[in-house]
Structure formats: C-alpha cells, structure tokens
C-alpha cells in the first residue's frame, strides 16, 4: 500500500505552492489513477512521494518511508518520462547495467525483455527506439527488481491507442498479482477505463477520491453527439420537448454545429430532428465528461472556473439544471462548468417532503430556473470529496456545501492545520554491485574505444614528428611528450576517460530511475577509481608500445633501446596516467560535468605546477635523497626483491613538480568529494 500524507511543495515566490496538503492512498491489488489537467500538480505529487524534490509531507510504502528502505528499487519501480540512458547503449546492455545497480542477476534482463515484448529489439540502440518501445523499456527498467509498487508519471502520453491499451494491461497484470500501481494522467476516460480508483487533483489540491465506477457514473456521463447546420434550432426544440415530457435533459452547444445532449438517446434526438425537418450530419453515442469535450474550446472536465471567451458562437456558458429526485436525475450539472454527482443520502432525505419539480432542459443562451425554490443544484463531485476526510468520518451533507467553486473560494478559510514534516531529497544507496555496474557502463558504449583509438593515433603522429626533429629525449619521445605541451596526449586521454566516468552519469542518468542524483557512496567511488586506473594503465601501455613499434619500423633500434633507469621512468609514467584519470573522475563527480573533469586535469600543469615550483624554490628546501638506505639501516631489514628501487622511483615522482602538483590536486579533489558526500548524507 502507498499512503501519501500531507504532501506540500515548497512555496514559490509570489505564488501559492504547486501542491497543498494532498493525502490519499493507493491500495495493493488495485490500479490508482492520479487525474488532473496540466499544472494540477500530478508530477509534483510523484516527485514528493519519491523524495526527488524538497517539500513537506510523508509517503509510506507498505508502512515505511522511502528513505528508511534499504533498497528502494526493490520496493517501488519508477517510470518518469523517457528512459534515462545513453542513446548509444543497447537495450539489453542498458538493462544488464541496471541489473548490477539493483543487485539482481544479469539474466533478469532477458526475463523482463520477454515480459514487455522487446526480445527482438534487445540489440537496438536507445536513441533509435520509438515512443512506444521506449515506454516498454521504461516499464522493463521499473520491473527489474520485481518491486511491489509501480509509480508512473504520464506513462501513456504520446502513445498510440494500441500501445496505451497494452501498457494499461501490463499495469493491470501487476496489480492482479498483488502489487500496487499508481499512474498519472490528464485523460478522465483513461482513468475511468484503466484504474480501480481515481484521485482527482485541481490547482494543487485534492478535489475527489472515488472508486472508478463511481467516478464514471458521476463524472463521465453518456451523451449523444450531434452535428447539424441548424444546431441552435435543434437545441431549442430538444429543450422544449424535455420540458413538456418532464425529462432531465441537458443540451450543450460546443461551438459551430456540434451539440452534446445529456440524458437522451440517439433515437429520441433523431426522431425530434426528423419531425421538424432538421438536417443532421452526425448522430452518435459517446462517453463524455460533464461538460464539452476537451477537443472543443470549452471548459474541461476539471475546470472550476467560467468558460473561456472563445467567440460569439461559444460565448454563452452552460447553464445550471435543477436536480430531480429519481433515477433520471443522475449526472445533472449544477454550475454548468464542472463535474456532477448524485445527491447524498442527507440531501435526498431533505427533498423527500418537497413537491415534485418539473424537469427542465437547457438550450444555449437560455437560463432556466427551477419552478420550486426547494430544489437546489447538487454540488459537484469535486466539492463532495474533502482531502482531509477519512473513510470512517461521516461526510457533510450535500445541502450544506457551497453551490459552486467560486463561492467556496470566497468563504473564509479554516484555521491552518499543523504543517506536515519536512521532506528533503536523499540520494539512493545504489548501485548494489558497483564494480559490475561500472564495467557494464564502460564497455556498453563506444565512447571509450573511440577515445583510446584517437589518443593512440595522435600519439603516434606526434612521436614521429618529435623523432624527426631530434630535440626530444628518448623517454619523452616514447611518451610523445614535447616541451610545448603541458601533458602528453595519453595523459589527457586518461583524464578524459576518467571524466566520462561521472560526466555521463549526470548527462545520461541511468540511476535516476531509482531515486534521483548519482549516489556518493565510497564503494561506488572506489569502483570508478579502480576501473579508471585500469583503463589508464592499458592506455599507457598501448601508447608506449605503439610508439616503440612505430619508431623501430621507421628509425630502427637506435630510438627504442631500453633506458637504464627504465624502472623509475615506468613508475613515473604509471603514476602520471593514473593520477590524471583519478583527477578527471573526482572533478567530474564534484562539478557534475565531463568538461569540468578535463579542465581539472589541465589545471595541474598550467596552474598548480608553477605554484609548486615557486614553493620549492630556495635553500631551505631539504632533499630526501638516501631515504630508502636510511630506512633500511633503521629497521635492520634488507629490502627484498629490490623494492628500494621502486621506493626511489616513487619518491622521484613525488619530488618532480608535476608529480607533487598532481598529488596536491588529488588530495584537494578527494577532500571536496568526501565533503559533498557527507553533506548529502546530513541532509
């Protein structure tokens, strides 16, 4: 069960909150529709429920708030808009990466692909999927961890009728298995057709919470759609006959030659038109709302205000029709521009002693009044339901409610209730298998492969050019590092690959389907650093190897001899590549940008190195030469396997300005990253 209590968005400047004290329930085994027009607060409600934006209120998923659930993706599956993923990633690769994120076996990806009918498209790129296939993939992502609840924001928007019906059927299957389903929509017909319960929002407030059957009976009335060049004359005749027969018939002029007739049938309307010689172009039964259709330029189902002024042919508003006791009075509108409902039990009891009231039909431009002062219009369903009313609390009699939303807004507001608890955004604790997730992320797209190929090609060309000039030392020649460049191409490529590790997470947030921002867990950072270091080492080896082979082929063995201090040079080269990769990872994670990660790598030789050199100048700086020997004599232990040579190599790297600057930058970036992680957890 999903229980939303007191959901209230943060106040906006000079505007009321987008959502104000909304409370409702979505029961297990049922499909619940959150209905409302554009701007009613549906998306804000979902985001507050999932703790994706700050506000007030609390939402319980089977009795626990989301931030107290260890693995939220296993409790609630989320579909918010399009699938957040890299467009070059395949459908199957994207799902396998998310399997590692939610901690389920990779074989689960094939299971959900079969369940949503995407087996034949498993090798398709995300960027080439149609709207319907993208929504199927989004549903597959939500079902990966087999959650109990599904929360979907506008899942059928932009879909064809066939795809929409399929998606609704899939949600129904999940509900029949005992799950809870909540989806948002702005189509009342879809809500009545696909849901078991309909929760209606208007202007950020809860206006109705009904069973789908009751919603369809009171808010979606059968009507007869008529098109005739003599629509005004036909409307007047239908109104006249309804009065003479004492029938509750409502005729609505929807603009042009179209009429909507409530409370009658096609046969009765057709007979009236035939008797009076009126030409009819269309005569059909429809299931419509309590007002003009959404396609017409009239008030919508959830409109509580007066109709818009859309021209002379649609200037007249729909007029009220008195409610008549009896079965034929169902669906009579009270104010002419909002939904209708049946009289409550108390209102019916008040009317039992009243005299029968002659039913009245309404035509365009004619304001008809009831013949009896005791018969008053019934309140709309939007006013009959109160957001603060529980099922066990007796409802206020309908006769005591205000007759229109405008009058309700003019009444003094009740005393404000205590504010619900504050709600802040919290990062998700995923991925559960960070190393496997990171490997899928790196190998799933061609960005890394193209970067490595480009770096090797540039390094090879630059190596040949430097060898031809003859002014570059051999160890710089193998690394393709001229004095004019702050860093060699391989180091810049390692930094770029490291920046991709976090940059793509924020640009194509695959983890956003869980609960929002990329998590700042140390295990996740460790996995990214490990994969970035491995990639940097592979790139370092490939670059030096290709340069050496190319120099040997072009210039012979003279330029490819192994230097005497090869070990310290190898350690220095390795540390430089790994340090650049890690700097890219940390900077991209802090600033949430690939460009910022690469800029941090470039800032080391351009900005930090001059500062370090300035600090190291002067006679007061002492040398650490001979440190391994002094340490060996102190411990009286011989260094095995020549480890002192490695220690000397590392110390030489640290003593260099670039190495020292890189270590200083890494320490600063790591501290900043940990600080942001701690602050995020504190919120």
pLDDT score at 359 = 35
CA 522 to chain centroid: 25
Tens-digit pLDDT profile for residues 483-500:
778 888 999 999 999 999
Tens-digit pLDDT profile for residues 558-583:
777 777 777 778 888 888 899 999 99
User: Which residues in the chain come in under a pLDDT of 70?
Assistant: 288-419, 513-517, 612-613, 615-660, 678-683
Exposure string of 630-648, with b = 16+ CB inside 10 Å and e = fewer, is: eeeeeeeeeeeeeebebbb
Closest CA to 506 of 429, 422, 590: 590
Q: How far apart are CA 336 and CA 320, in angstroms?
A: 5
Q: How far apart are CA 24 and CA 213, in angstroms?
A: 18
637: left (phi over 0), alpha (psi -120 to 50) or beta: beta
Q: For residue 626, count CB atoms less than 10 angstroms from its CB and return exposed for 0-12, middle for 13-18, buried for 19 or more.
A: exposed
DSSP state of 605: I
Domains of the chain by start residue, with CATH: 1-75+147-203 (3.40.50.300), 85-146 (no CATH), 220-386 (no CATH), 434-682 (no CATH)
pLDDT score at 129 = 92
DSSP state of 607: I
pLDDT score at 386 = 35
pLDDT score at 535 = 95
441: left (phi over 0), alpha (psi -120 to 50) or beta: alpha
Q: Does a cis peptide bond (omega within 30 degrees of 0) precede residue 431?
A: yes
Pairing of strands 149-153, 76-80: parallel
Instruction: Give the ranges where 246-364 is alpha helix by DSSP (H).
Output: 266-275, 345-351
pLDDT score at 356 = 34
């Amino acid at each position: 069960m999903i229980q939303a209590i007191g959901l209230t968005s943060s106040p906006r400047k000079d505007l009321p909150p987008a959502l104000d004290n909304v409370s409702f329930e979505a029961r297990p085994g049922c499909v619940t529709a959150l209905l409302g027009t554009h701007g009613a607060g549906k998306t804000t409600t979902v985001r507050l429920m999932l703790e994706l934006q700050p506000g007030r209120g609390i939402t319980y998923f089977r009795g626990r708030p989301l931030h107290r659930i260890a693995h939220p993706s296993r409790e609630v599956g989320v579909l918010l808009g399009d699938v957040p993923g890299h467009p070059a990633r395949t459908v199957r690769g994207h799902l396998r990466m998310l399997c590692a994120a939610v901690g389920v076996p990779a074989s689960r990806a094939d299971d959900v692909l079969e369940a949503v009918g995407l087996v034949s498209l498993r090798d398709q790129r995300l960027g080439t999927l149609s709207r319907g296939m993208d929504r199927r993939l989004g549903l597959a992502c939500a079902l990966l961890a087999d959650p109990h609840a599904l929360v979907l924001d506008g899942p059928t928007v932009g879909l064809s009728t066939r795809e929409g019906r399929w998606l609704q059927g899939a949600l129904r299957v999940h509900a029949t298995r005992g799950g809870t389903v909540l989806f948002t929509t702005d189509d009342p017909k879809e809500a009545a057709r696909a849901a078991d319960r309909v929760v209606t929002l208007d202007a950020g407030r809860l206006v109705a919470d009904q069973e789908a059957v009751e919603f369809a009976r009171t808010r979606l009335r059968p009507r007869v759609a008529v098109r005739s060049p003599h629509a005004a004359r036909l409307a007047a005749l239908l109104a006249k006959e309804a009065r003479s027969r004492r029938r509750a018939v409502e005729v609505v002029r929807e603009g042009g030659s179209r009429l909507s007739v409530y409370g009658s049938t096609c046969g009765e309307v057709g007979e009236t038109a035939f008797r009076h010689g009126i030409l009819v172009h269309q005569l059909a039964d429809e299931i419509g709302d309590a007002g003009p259709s959404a396609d017409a330029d009239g008030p919508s189902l959830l409109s509580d205000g007066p109709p818009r002024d859309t021209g002379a042919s649609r200037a007249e508003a729909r007029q009220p029709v008195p409610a008549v006791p009896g079965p034929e009075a169902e669906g009579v509108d009270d104010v002419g521009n909002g939904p209708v409902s049946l009289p409550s039990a108390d209102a019916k009891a008040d009317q039992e002693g009243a005299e029968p009231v002659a039913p009245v039909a309404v035509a365009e431009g004619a304001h008809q009044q009831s013949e009896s002062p005791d018969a008053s219009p019934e309140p709309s369903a939007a006013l009959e339901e109160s957001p603060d009313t529980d099922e066990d609390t007796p409802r206020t009699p309908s006769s005591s409610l205000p007759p229109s939303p405008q009058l309700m807004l003019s009444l003094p507001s009740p005393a404000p209730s205590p504010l619900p608890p504050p709600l802040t955004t919290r990062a998700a604790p995923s991925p559960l298998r960070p190393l496997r997730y990171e490997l899928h992320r790196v190998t799933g797209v061609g960005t890394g492969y193209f970067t490595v190929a480009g770096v090797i090609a540039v390094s090879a060309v630059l190596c040949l050019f430097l060898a031809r000039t003859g002014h570059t030392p051999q160890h710089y020649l193998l690394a393709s590092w001229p004095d004019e460049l702050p860093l060699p191409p391989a180091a810049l490529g390692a930094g770029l690959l490291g920046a991709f590790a976090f940059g793509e997470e924020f640009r194509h947030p695959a983890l956003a389907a869980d609960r929002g921002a990329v998590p700042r867990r140390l295990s996740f950072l460790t996995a990214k650093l490990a994969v970035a270091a491995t990639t940097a080492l592979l790139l370092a080896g490939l670059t030096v190897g290709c340069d050496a082979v190319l120099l040997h082929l072009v210039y012979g063995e003279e330029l490819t001899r192994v230097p005497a201090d090869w070990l310290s040079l190898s350690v220095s080269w390795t540390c430089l590549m790994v340090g650049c990769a890690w700097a890219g990872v940390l900077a991209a994670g802090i600033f949430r940008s690939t460009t910022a990660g690469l800029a941090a790598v470039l800032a080391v030789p351009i900005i930090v190195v001059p500062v370090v050199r300035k600090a190291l100048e002067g006679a007061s700086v002492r040398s650490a030469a001979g440190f391994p020997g002094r340490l060996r004599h102190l411990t009286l232990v011989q260094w095995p396997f020549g480890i002192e040579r490695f220690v000397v190599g590392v110390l030489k790297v640290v003593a260099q300005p670039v190495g020292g600057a890189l270590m200083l930058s890494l320490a600063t970036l790591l501290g900043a990253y940990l600080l942001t992680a701690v602050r995020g957890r504190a919120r």
